[in-house]
Structure formats: structure tokens, C-alpha cells
Chain A
């Protein structure tokens, strides 16, 4: 029986080639999109699967309240470690203090490279279960030891054995290689930890770290833990919640609440609002999952529509089969096997499409997804997927076609009923509702990105580069380098800053100033800068003046931004003294000498944070900011800058970033979403149009006689085109009416995540409607005009 079903299914496919191509092609596209999205989702949800202790690892987070606003983050103070070790150690298998991931210069012989890594406590390699390729797992035992990732070891030593070799870090101290570990794969946290050095080294080489041992207010560190087997994240959180609040009286007013943030949630659920976890990337997993299902549904709808549209052609076969003894369920099985065959073909074609497009998709989504040929689970899921898709696509045609009464079809009086086309129309409406909603969604995402991109950023990011200056080699050389670079004619201005231009690395509180409201808990972005900072960035001074070497008192001067003026409640900010309210602070108060325009350093979608630019009298600069000479090409300038750099720092690699590139990275997540949704929208429309194209050709075929008669009676090509097109246009108009409110609701919700957001304007909907109608007309017109142009005699003869 099955053979008979498959035989007839195969012959039907061969016989109706155009129909088969539309059906299989459309379905293959839909399945390919679903497959790619499924692979992407699998990659997203398997984030951090590299770590065998994933379910037990967490990072200590804290929420603090400033002026009623709760901020949540991973930065914690050093004394917390002591408190945990003294009182709660039995809750942890490992407790690991860590620095932030930072670039360091690693030098071996003539080779010098800049790599990023962490200073971590001894338990880290065991907690993360690093795969040791050479050396020992307990590689952070000695203070002068360093563990290298395989790629760093290769870069430094090539084929030579790494263990025991001594490398120089930042031209400052020597470290001996104790272990080489397998590179941590891309879709894992700590993937950027290309080396590990002992936490103790961090303390002994950085004075400020050493001093932070008793400073509860200095939240500049991270703590990772692996909880003990006999406890849970929640149980430990319940114990540690108020530790800081109880031990740190000075900051108790900020109500610090500690909690364990499980590794399993770092990647997908890392957003916090008002101290509560509010999701994160998981929303994109859902979003793309739903898009994938919708695109697949669109393709299934094509199958249903084209199958049922051909009902009159299949009716005779159904009648004959029934008259010679076929039960309805046998016919249902037959039609389902046909859909199974189509889905199988489509699936294999989809795999081919996926293989062709996977590299491009990886580039777009910044992933390293490979096709899971050897994953048995993938193939099992695929079989289920084929069966379910066959069922979805084939169920309606199977039920519909098998319901024909043999007596009607064999008498030759079978005509599809008055409402026979209704389900098909509903499905077309559903298809175009999804397509129009996709169009609207994509336009709004793109608009939001452009809205943020066009936002004035407060400084000139073009022709500006930044060079990291973490090495001790840079200490005390700023003025020399400035004069060298300016003298080279490649740079027209230069400054230093303690944070990169596109980030805020430090926030401060604990200040007093005249007129400070009682109980006001300030939180200010803190950047230490040289005299020329505003000039080098073309940052506009809107009130007061810039730093000047002519004023010796400027060593205690500060510039604040416009938001800070409002935030601090200053009606006349110039001259106001900002005093550190800690009694131990030996420095004189800071005097506000000027107000600079707000400059976007964090998310371009959020309001600018209140900030202070303090004169850097301690030489804390972490970056050189260089304004390139606009009269020369960037490559010419860079060649000169590199030469000057190498003259003074021969042992350091020349590393720089263009500030506009760094700023551009702030849009990468949204741009990826925009591009992906654009592609999926295009595919959704293509699939819907394929279906519409097929449907129009069947309608034109069904109405061949009518078209002939109408033409004999005087109808023009336009009349016939109008007759065939308007039915479809009506459906698309209905789709637009359904899609517009739904997409408005969904996109408005999406935009709420962005404080700086675009307003959804009416023309977007008009654009989507006009676009959908134009696409429909183009698709339908081809077949309609073809049918209308046939000689009426031929049409009547056909009948």
C-alpha cells in the first residue's frame, strides 16, 4: 500500500513540475530558515556548556540603591572575600577572587604580544575544570607563575615546550609558565581569558589593589564561587544577602544586597532592573524561535493552499479510489505520504541551503556554528521535525481531499463548493499578516538603530584613535610622547584618560558640595584626564573654561557634563567645590571650572550619565587619545605614529583602536537583529509570494473558460487582470489591518527597553501596506496578464 502511495506521490510531483518546484522550494526555504535558527538557538542555550561544574558555579552580585534607583552589578569590594572565608566557607567548594579581564603585554625573547587575561585565585583552574594540555592544573600556586591558553603558548613559543619558560609581563615582572590549557571555546564565558596569573601577583604589583583590602567602598573586583554539593544557590544567597550591609556601616545606607548569580543564567538572563532579574538575550532566543516557526508555517501554508487549490484535479482520483474500495483513512494516509515525500525532499534541499549559507550566517551573527553531522540527537529531532511538518502541511489537504463524495466526482458534476476557497483565503491572510508584521518590525528596528546612530554624541569620533597604556613603560612619559607625536605631524592633539572614550570604567560617590540635599546619594561617572582631553576630542565647553596649564590650581579642577549640572542641582556650577566626604582623603576639594557637552560613553540608547572629568594628577591614564592630522591619510598618520611608538617602546606591540569603530560596536547587537530580521522578512515575503504565484496560476487555470467567454464578450486584458488581482489584493488589505495593530503592540513593547527611542510613526504602516500591495500586484500580475493575454479561442478550446 505504502509503495502505491509513494509511487503516485512521486509521479504527481514529476507531472506537475512547476507546482512541485514552488512547493518543495518554498518549503525548503522555510525549513532552512528554521534549521539555521534552531542551530543558532542551540548555540545560545548551550553557552557555558564547556564547564562541567556549570550548575554549581556563580558570580557574586550586589544591588545597591542610590536615590531610590537600584543598580545591580558584579563589582564587589575586597573585604567581602575575608568575610566569606571567615564565616561561610563551608558553603563553597571554591571561592575565587578575580580581576577584570585586561590586556597585558607578554614578552618572550624578541616576541611581544598583547593578550587579555585575568588575575585569579588558585581554585580557578579547578573550578572551571580547564583542560590542561601541558603542566599542572594547580598552576596558580606560585606567585610568579602564569597559565597560558594554547593559542598564546603557540604565539609565544611556537613548537617549543612552554612549561618552565619565563616570560616578561608589561616589561615589569617575570612569570614562569606552569601550565598550558586548551583554548576556551567561543560560546563560553572566560573565552577571553587567554592567560591566568595568581591573584597574589595582582595585589603585590598594584598598590591600589593592596590598599583596597579594607575598603568596603571600593567595588572594583569580582568574585566567582562554586557552591558545595550539599547546598543550593538560593540557600547560599539567603545566607550572604546582608553580609555587606552588616559589616560596612558607611555604605549601609545604599542597602547593599548580595546574591549568587548562577553561571547558567549569565549569558541569557543577565539584565537587571530595579534589583530584579528581567531576562536578557533570552528574549532574542524567543523572538527568533517564533520567527523560525512563523517562516515554517508560511511555507506549510503554501503546501496546504497549493494542494487544496488542485482539488478539482485530484477529485477524480479520489472518486475512483473510493469507488473501488478505498476507505477515507486510506486516502488520508495517501495524502499524508505525499506531504511526507515533499517535506523529505524539502528537508534535504534545506540542508543544502543551510550548508551554503552557514558561513555567511556565522559572520553575521558572530558565531562559529557548524553543521551537526555527527550529532545523533540532531538527526532524531530532524526525523520528528519532518514527521510533524508533514502532518502540519498535509493534514488539511488530506482531510479536505479525502472528504469528496465519489458520486459527485465520478458524475463529473464536482465543483468546489461556495466556501471551499475560504480556508485558503484565511491561510493567505495569515501568511500576509505575518509578512506585513515582519516588514513593520524590521523597519522599526532599522529606524531605532538609525535614530541612535544619528544622536549627537557630544564629541568628534572621526579621526580619533586610542592607544592602551597599561604597561609600566608608559609611566611618566606622557608629556614626552605628546611632544613626539605632535612633532611628527601625524597628530594634531593628544590627551590621556583613565577610561576609553567609549566606556565608563569608574563610578564614584561620597561627595559633598554646597546645597547638597539632605540624604542625597550621588553616583557619578569618574574619568581622570589630562589638560588637553576636551581639545583632543573636540568636546565642547558650554560653560566656564577648559583645563589650562596656566592655572596651577587646575590640578584640583574638574569639568562636569550638562547632565551632572542638573543631577547635582547646581544653578551656577562654575566655582562650586566638590569635596570627598571621607575624612581620610588628603586631597583638597575639586573645583568645577567648566561644563562640557554631554558625551555618549555608554549605551547610545540610554540617557547620558552624570559625569566628572577630573584632572589626572597621579598619572592614572590608561589610554592615549590621538587626534589624527586630517590633512594626511589615516594610513600615513598611523605609519608615522607606529614608528614614533616603536622608537620609545621597542618591546611593546603597537596596538590602537579607532574610536568610531569602538563606538560602532555599541550598535552591533541591534544591527545584527536588524540585518537578521531583514533577511528573514525577505525570505518570509519570498515564500508568501511563491505561494501566491502558485495560487494565482491555479485560479487562472480554473477560470480559463470564464476568461475566454469574458474576452469574447469584450473584456480587455486590464479587465481580466483586474478581475484576477482584486481578490488577492482584498486579502492582503485584510492582512494589513490585522498586522498593523499586532506589530504596533509588539514593537512598542520592544522599544520600551530603550530610554532613547524612536517614535513609531504612521508612515511606517503606510509603507508596509504599500509595499505588501506592490509585492502582491507584481506576483499576481504575471499570471493574471499571462492568462488575460491568451487568445479566447484557445481558452474555450481548453475547456
Chain B
């Protein structure tokens, strides 16, 4: 599903060029669950942003479902993201001015789906996330765990091929964290590919394979033996 070859990303300021990612190669199969780990500043989020087409690489190629997306312009990347990708962020990133229902509905509006169909899908996904009783609430009226469930609902509502999760449990207590990881696993078992950036050893157990980054390079890419053992 994803094939990355010799990918690099550098940031230039007036005097300094910083290499965030260099000569990176990665393959993610459809239905996989990959955890990207590494110390702060190693390039995890940069890699996730490039995979999520929020950012573009400065070198190398990035092939998504058979399409080279590395050199696409913002407008084309947006079109590719729509319906194909779902995002789950550490800080939830819900729109404060929209209710739970409206936040989840938003990606469907951008897909130009009809009202009745939108309503049906949103209710379905909210039921599944066990948050439909809060559908008229605003984000600030929810707990962190509830907000993250709404964020996952929003990522899932378009039935994307790939969900990108950036530290999804980073702002949650352990109980809510486990709940969120179980939800992601469930999604994955239903066929959704998941790529997750995490610092948490515990969360990485849920992944099929773990990619370790250090200074913008992959230092190990292995199947998750612990998970396999369990």
C-alpha cells in the first residue's frame, strides 16, 4: 500500500539546512499496523505528515496505492487525502465551534455526500464509538477520552484505507489510552491500515511491526515479536 524509497526531508532557513529525514525506505502492506518510534526530534512526526500527505518530501519517492504522491501539489494532495486517509492526533484537534455530530460529519461534507446519508453514517460511527449520547455537545464539554473517541470517529467515518495516528494516547490517562488502542486494533482487524507514531512502549505492543527512527533514519524495522508472542 505504501512504498517509500530514499525519502528525505530538509528544512532550510537563511543560514542553516536541517535534515529531518534522510534516505528512508519503508513499506507498509495493506491491513498492516505499524508503529513508528524513536526519541523526540528523530523525525517521527515529519514522516507521519509526509505519509499523511500533509507535507511533501524534498527527496525520494512516496508511492501510495500505486500512485506517486511525493511530488504532488497541495491541491492534489488534498484531493488524495479526501476519503483515503483519516487522522487521529495527540491533541484531538476537534473544531471547538462544532458539536460532536458536526465534527464527525465534516469529512463527509467535503466528500459532498447527501444529508440523509451523512446523518446515517455519523450516527453509525458515533454508536460504534459509544459517544452518540454526546452528539450535541461541544468538544470542551467532553473528557479527553471522549474527545479522542470523537476524533477516531471522525477519522473512521469516511471508511479510509489508512488511519494515521500521532501519539493518540499521549494526552490520555491509562484507562482511556487502553480504550483508544483497543478501538484502533478493532479498526485494524476490520481491514483498515494503521500507522501510529508513539513514544509509548505499551502502545507499540498493539502494532504488527515497529519502525525505529533515529536522527531521521530508520535504525530498525521489525515485526513485533512481543505481540507475536502474546
Contact = CB atoms under 8 A, between A and B. Distances in A.
Interface of A: 1, 4, 7-8, 11-12, 15, 316-317, 319-328, 330, 405-407, 410-412
A21 B55 CA distance: 38
Ordered nearest first, which 10 A-B pairs have the shortest CB separation? A325-B82, A325-B110, A11-B97, A407-B54, A407-B55, A324-B107, A407-B49, A320-B93, A406-B54, A8-B97
Contacts of B10: none
B94 A320 contact: yes
Contacts of A405: 54-55, 74
Interface residues of B, number: 32
Given A15-B97, A325-B158, A328-B78, 17 more contacts: A1-B109, A1-B112, A4-B106, A7-B102, A8-B95, A320-B95, A321-B106, A322-B78, A323-B81, A323-B93, A324-B82, A324-B110, A324-B154, A325-B81, A325-B110, A407-B49, A410-B54
A177 to B, nearest CB: 72
Interface stretch (B83-91, B142-150, B172-180, B205-213): B83-91
B52 interface: yes
B45 interface: yes
B111 interface: yes
Contacts, number: 73
Contacts of A407: 49, 54-55
B189 to A, nearest CB: 24
A323 B52 contact: yes
A326 B93 contact: no
Contacts of B78: 322, 325-328
Contacts of A412: 91
Interface string B33-46: 00000000000010
Nearest to A327: B78
17 contacts: A4-B102, A4-B105, A8-B95, A8-B97, A11-B97, A316-B93, A317-B96, A321-B95, A323-B81, A324-B106, A325-B78, A325-B81, A325-B83, A328-B78, A405-B54, A410-B54, A410-B89
Interface in B66-92: 74-75, 78-79, 81-83, 86-87, 89, 91
Of A15, A322, A410, most buried by chain B (CB within 10 Å of CB) is A410
A323 B54 contact: yes
Contacts of B55: 405, 407
Interface of B: 45, 49, 52, 54-55, 74-75, 78-79, 81-83, 86-87, 89, 91, 93-98, 102, 105-107, 109-112, 154, 158
Contacts of A411: 45, 49
A21 B11 CA distance: 42
Nearest to B95: A317
Contact of B87 (A11, A324, A330): A324
Contact of A325 (B91, B96, B102, B111): B111
Contacts of A320: 93-95
Nearest to A403: B74
Contact of B97 (A12, A326, A406, A410): A12
B75 A328 contact: yes
Nearest to A413: B45
A324 B83 CA distance: 8
B99 to A, nearest CB: 9
A323 B78 CA distance: 7
Contacts of A11: 97-98
Nearest to A5: B109
A615 B141 CA distance: 96
B49 A317 contact: no
A324 B79 CA distance: 10
A205 B110 CA distance: 87
Nearest to A318: B95
Contacts of A323: 52, 54, 81, 87, 93
B74 A8 contact: no
A333 to B, nearest CB: 12
A326 B98 CA distance: 16
A411 B81 CA distance: 18
Nearest to A4: B109
A12 B93 CA distance: 17
B106 to A, nearest CB: 6
A326 B158 CA distance: 14
Contacts of A4: 102, 105-106, 109
B171 to A, nearest CB: 12
Contacts of A15: 97
B21 to A, nearest CB: 13
Contacts of B98: 7-8, 11
Of A4, A406, A411, most buried by chain B (CB within 10 Å of CB) is A406
A401 to B, nearest CB: 14
